[in-house]
A and B are shown apart, each in its own frame.
Chain A
Amino acid sequence: MKALLLIILWAIVPMSSVAQECRDTLNGKVTDYHSKVPLENARITMVGRSLEVASDPSGNFAIPDLCPGSYQLEVSHPECKTLLIDIEVDGTTPLNIKLEHHLEELEEVKVFGDAINDKTNSAQEERLKLETLERFSTGSLGDALKELGGVSSLNTGANIVKPTIHGLNGSRVLILNDGVRMQDMEWGDEHAPNIDINSAGSVSVIKGASALQYGGDAIGGVIIMDRARIPIKDTLYGKTMISGVSNGRGGNITTELVKAFKSGWFVKGQGSFKRLGDHEAPDYVLSNTGIQEIGSTIEFGKQRFTSGWDAKYSYFNSEIAILRASHIGNVDDLIRSINNGQPEIIGPFTYDLQNPRQEVTHHLGKFRFYKRFEGLGKLNFQYDYQNNRRFEFDVRRGERGARASIDLELTTHTLSTDFKWDANEKFQLQAGLLGRYQENFANPATGVRRLIPDYEKFDFGGFALGEYQINDRLLLEGGLRYDFTRIDAKKFYQTSRWEERGYNTEFQDLIIEDLGTQLLVNPVFDFHNISGTLGGNHKFDDDSGIKVNYTLAQRAPNPSELFSDGLHHSAARIELGDLRIASEKSHKIAAAYYKDFSSWGFELEPFANWVDDFLLLEPSSVEFTVRGAFPVWEYRQTNARLLGVDAFIYVDWGKPWRTEHRFSLVKGRDNENNSPLINMPAAHLRNKIAFVKPEWKNFEVALESQYVFRQNEVPGNISVFSPEQQQNVLLEVNTPPRAYHLMGLQSKIGFPLGKHANLTTSLVVNNLLDTKYRDYLNRQRFFADDLGRNIMIQLKFNY
């Protein structure tokens, strides 16, 4: 019966269509996918026919006199992605066409290249491009970031480089590695970020906490590492880079391969290996300063405009040897090192990594999912897992050298979600939630009392950010965030320390076990922090504009600030935290003014940051032990003020010459004691002259001069009793080194290798004149000069 009906239909339908004249009409409307706003002047073309119509102001269009059948339409609009649509026309056929109107929202589908958005609209923000990052392939993230204005670093030798933004570092600087906030014991001065610089496609720096979606506690700023975009098309490409350096007599190899499909599927693998031996100062070998680093990432997923997901795993391992001469016994040893002028232990060059050294392994796993809702916005959901294991090996007595003195394992789970309403052209809103659980385990097998205790930490945060485009020239943005942090620690205190700190009067109820000379205590602290931001961006014309931003940020103290208690051999100091420490609160006002003229331009970025309960670690007194005397470095809170400015000028002298000039200044003041803040970067000036000739195989050569002023504003030195000298001596731990001037050279040229591959060779020379210098923000400045000349040769293959 059914079959018969089908046959009849089959017989009638073609007949009727033949009989019918071509009078069908296609009626339609073109709208924006997000806002559902009608789009005018969208061109609708019948593929294979010379028929084209345009949409009217209400987005409507009509194509009359069509024969029934299937057609293919090409819909294009100047501000949108062109769309191909297959349609069956039968009678008067309605058709609604949605175009992706927000080009800037096409992040996920944009073709490989420089297509990263600014993260904020009104904050001071700068970005390092891939080619700059590649120059630092054998260095670290911290080294590369110093190319930007207002960014310096706190170093422990050449291998441990902590990025410092506007004078602040450590827990005050958030590092986002492809959307994941790094949890890698950033609290220690000698803990560098566990990141392979070769895995980043670009790095943005926001100088302040105004990017509240990442956290409300970035009193210093936020560093955002993004991977390069992966195109949605059938393609296979890769890159291999081999670098060799003279100082350290080693190098680095890094390689990556990406396979992508038109369907949105992609897979990407990346790996790098770095090995350097002892570094060298101009006059001597810096014994035991080698490094080995391994990084690898595998990532896959499916990305489409409306939805997508990706999963990623990355591994990072670094083994860093620490200058042998910087491991000392007591204050007399420190005085001797400061007075000696050169390290006490200088051996022949070696690749061996001996004690003292640290070995850190970081695992990062991430799963992300996004979905766009038509006429509404985009939902993101992410889970990430991080595991950070840190071993620190000291010079120890007996056969203990092979056993770590510090053995910490930090495990973090984070769940976050946010939703961005971008349907409205003028107004956008983003809101999100975050939950995080973190656990630290301090292994007792070290035979050394724990510097950082076992703890559990719970975070919960929520934020809302909005931006409003008032007109073509003016944009306002604002946001609010709330963070709750609970830290639940179990820590052993020496009974004598517990009493010396006065905890026996305030915190006696925290004791859960009394072992006589040691007390086990269980502090549980809650912190409620609110942060907010308000800012505007005004363009005077196409060539000039101003940005102004105010941010309130609050940061809960980290475990080191609360619980630190013990002797740090690497610095010959006793570091003491304080259970009474409260959150820091920062009010920062920052502005940026830029103007471009025909052959030159400038950017001026002043800021002022007032921090209530600013946390600082500085030498306060001396304690005596059987080993001798040790300076005590205590965490304390004060009200601080940081003022500064970053300036940038470029001049095009007519092709191919160009010069760039940068100047950065930060002044930090302890308002309660009316004294300078410790560890503020010195003012510095950088000038660069570049010769760029693209027609000579992209040839570039640049000469750079860097002048670092002496930091004249430092807190006073402390006086200590030297048992060896049997008298009080001035311990010059705060005396800054002299100003210095370094020259550098960079050069680069590219060669095509066949149709799809090319080779770029580059030469970089740092400290060209082999100048002897010491830097105020290098913790090894008491023991040895900084690095001498370093020549790097790099070969890069793109295929």
Chain B
Amino acid sequence: MKTIKFLSTIAFAGTLFIACSDDDNENPDPVNEEETITTMTVTLIPQGGGDTVTLTSKDLDGDGPNAPDITVSGNLSANTIYGGGVVLLNETETPAENVNEEIEGEADEHQFFLIVGGGLNATTTYEDDESDYVSAETGENFTSTNPVGIAFTLTTTDASSGTLAVTLRHEPKKPNDGTLADAGGETDITQTFDLTIQ
């Protein structure tokens, strides 16, 4: 008898306990990925006039399954010096967030690598260094002078076709010999553009 009483008490307690755990039907808040870079725009402006060439890589679903959309606005002219600039955006937020600000604030932890490949007759040169940017930590310009690569020049020679790979590394070895292999670090963004010089 005692046994039955015990068992039934427990069974009853169990029912109560299940009954209490009613869900509150509140929906979770969505998360907008903060660190995503969706869009990279490389602008190449010829010195002394001519058509500006814009290279864009856009991946609005970030780390999602869709591959980035790559566009190249036109061909480069031979024997021309282009002033280059890179702009990074996070377009999952409205208005789109300019990620350059964060890169500049941590210029000593970042570097763009502009690698010409596949027989393209062109060279790139860094046009900025860390001391051009204000450190987010100290509020003052960096004192170190390693290259960053937000601003650069691209110099073309003869007509040819090939690639320009733009890679942003986080926490690379600085200074480095300008190759990705030596720099190490983590890739924040990378895209290879097919270009033609005519």
Q: Which of B151-177 contact A (CB under 8 A)?
A: 163, 165, 167, 169-171
A413 touches B40 (CB 8 A): no
Residues of B within 8 A of A35 (CB): none
Residues of B within 8 A of A328 (CB): 186-187
Interface size class of B (residues with CB under 8 A): 35 or more
Task: Take A344-B184, A396-B35, A574-B63 as given contacts and tell me if A444 and B14 are in contact as well, using a CB distance cutoff of 8 Å.
Answer: no
Q: Which of B76-84, B121-129, B188-196 contacts A (4 or more CB under 8 A)?
A: B188-196
Task: Take A336-B184, A444-B31, A626-B38 as given contacts and tell me if A517 and B60 are in contact as well, using a CB distance cutoff of 8 Å.
Answer: yes
A456 touches B23 (CB 8 A): yes
B186 touches A398 (CB 8 A): no
Residues of A within 8 A of B185 (CB): 329, 344
B96 within 8 A of A: no
Q: How far is the CA of A790 from the CA of B189 in the complex (A)?
A: 40
A330 touches B187 (CB 8 A): yes
Q: Which of A372-391 contact B (CB under 8 A)?
A: 373, 376, 379, 381
Task: Take A415-B14, A433-B14, A723-B165 as given contacts and tell me if A400 and B27 are in contact as well, using a CB distance cutoff of 8 Å.
Answer: no
Q: Which of B47-55, B64-72, B140-148 contacts A (4 or more CB under 8 A)?
A: B64-72
B59 within 8 A of A: yes
B28 touches A490 (CB 8 A): yes
Task: Take A371-B6, A433-B14 as given contacts and tell me if A494 and B61 are in contact as well, using a CB distance cutoff of 8 Å.
Answer: yes
Q: What are 6 of the A-B contact pairs (CB < 8 Å)? A: A419-B7, A437-B21, A447-B34, A494-B62, A515-B30, A625-B62
B34 touches A448 (CB 8 A): yes
Q: Which of A429-444 contact B (CB under 8 A)?
A: 433, 435, 437, 442, 444
Task: Take A379-B3, A398-B105, A435-B17 as given contacts and tell me if A723 and B191 are in contact as well, using a CB distance cutoff of 8 Å.
Answer: yes
A345 touches B68 (CB 8 A): no
A398 touches B6 (CB 8 A): no
A345 touches B59 (CB 8 A): no
CB 8 Å contact bits of A392-416 with B (1 = contact, 0 = none): 0001111110000000000001010
Q: How far is the CA of A164 from the CA of B162 in the complex (A)?
A: 50
Q: Which of A703-734 contact B (CB under 8 A)?
A: 723-724, 726
| Size of interface on A: residues with Cβ below 8 Å to B | 65
Q: How far is the CA of A492 from the CA of B29 in the complex (A)?
A: 9
- Chain A residue at minimal CB-CB distance from B18: A435
B106 within 8 A of A: yes
Cβ 8 A contact of A449, one of B13, B31, B191? B31
B66 touches A442 (CB 8 A): no
Residues of A within 8 A of B34 (CB): 400, 447-448
Kindly provide the distance from the CB of A398 to the nearest chain B CB, expressed in whole angstroms: 5
Cβ 8 A contact of A724, one of B2, B67, B68, B180? B180
Task: Take A497-B65, A627-B187, A627-B190 as given contacts and tell me if A399 and B136 are in contact as well, using a CB distance cutoff of 8 Å.
Answer: yes
B43 within 8 A of A: no
Residues of B within 8 A of A381 (CB): 10
B165 touches A415 (CB 8 A): no
B117 within 8 A of A: yes
Residues of B within 8 A of A626 (CB): 37-40, 57, 59, 62, 68, 189-191
Q: How far is the CA of A435 from the CA of B19 in the complex (A)?
A: 12
What would 9 more interface pairs be, CB under 8 Å, given A419-B7, A447-B34, A625-B62?
A398-B35, A444-B29, A449-B33, A456-B21, A500-B66, A513-B27, A515-B30, A626-B190, A628-B189
A435 touches B14 (CB 8 A): yes
- Chain A residue at minimal CB-CB distance from B58: A626
Number of A-B contacts (CB under 8 A): 168
8 tightest A-B CB contacts, nearest first = A329-B187, A329-B186, A447-B34, A500-B65, A624-B67, A496-B61, A494-B64, A567-B63
Interface centre among B21, B40, B186 (most CB of A within 10 A): B186
Residues of A within 8 A of B170 (CB): 329, 395, 397
A251 within 8 A of B: no
Q: How far is the CA of A345 from the CA of B170 in the complex (A)?
A: 13
Interface centre among B34, B67, B163, B169 (most CB of A within 10 A): B34
Residues of A within 8 A of B117 (CB): 726
Interface centre among A492, A624, A627 (most CB of B within 10 A): A627
A723 touches B31 (CB 8 A): no
Q: How far is the CA of A512 from the CA of B62 in the complex (A)?
A: 23
Residues of B within 8 A of A379 (CB): 3, 6-7
Task: Take A336-B184, A488-B23, A496-B61 as given contacts and tell me if A397 and B35 are in contact as well, using a CB distance cutoff of 8 Å.
Answer: yes
Q: How far is the CA of A447 from the CA of B29 in the complex (A)?
A: 11
A726 touches B163 (CB 8 A): yes
A724 touches B136 (CB 8 A): no
B92 within 8 A of A: yes
Residues of A within 8 A of B64 (CB): 494, 496-497, 500, 625
B14 touches A400 (CB 8 A): no
Q: Which of A554-600 contact B (CB under 8 A)?
A: 566-567, 574
Q: How far is the CA of A636 from the CA of B29 in the complex (A)?
A: 29
Cβ 8 A contact of B167, one of A395, A520, A724? A724
Cβ 8 A contact of B136, one of A373, A398, A419? A398
Kindly provide the distance from the CB of A426 to the nearest chain B CB, expressed in whole angstroms: 22
Kindly provide the distance from the CB of A455 to the nearest chain B CB, expressed in whole angstroms: 10
B118 within 8 A of A: yes
Q: How far is the CA of A332 from the CA of B186 in the complex (A)?
A: 9
Task: Take A517-B60, A724-B180 as given contacts and tell me if A448 and B33 are in contact as well, using a CB distance cutoff of 8 Å.
Answer: yes
Task: Take A345-B184, A398-B106, A513-B27 as given contacts and tell me if A724 and B35 are in contact as well, using a CB distance cutoff of 8 Å.
Answer: no
Interface centre among B57, B61, B65 (most CB of A within 10 A): B65
Interface centre among A435, A454, A458, A625 (most CB of B within 10 A): A625
Residues of A within 8 A of B67 (CB): 623-625
Task: Take A419-B7, A490-B28, A496-B65 as given contacts and tell me if A724 and B189 are in contact as well, using a CB distance cutoff of 8 Å.
Answer: no
B189 touches A627 (CB 8 A): yes
Interface centre among A336, A397, A433, A454 (most CB of B within 10 A): A397
Residues of A within 8 A of B31 (CB): 444, 446-450, 492
A623 touches B118 (CB 8 A): no
Residues of B within 8 A of A723 (CB): 165, 190-192
Kindly provide the distance from the CB of B97 to the nearest chain A CB, expressed in whole angstroms: 10
Q: How far is the CA of A40 from the CA of B64 in the complex (A)?
A: 77
A41 within 8 A of B: no
A333 within 8 A of B: yes
Kindly provide the distance from the CB of B100 to the nearest chain A CB, expressed in whole angstroms: 12
Residues of A within 8 A of B13 (CB): 415
Residues of A within 8 A of B136 (CB): 398-399
A628 touches B65 (CB 8 A): no
Kindly provide the distance from the CB of A376 to the nearest chain B CB, expressed in whole angstroms: 7
Task: Take A398-B136, A626-B40 as given contacts and tell me if A726 and B18 are in contact as well, using a CB distance cutoff of 8 Å.
Answer: no
Kindly provide the distance from the CB of A417 to the nearest chain B CB, expressed in whole angstroms: 5
Residues of A within 8 A of B165 (CB): 723-724, 726
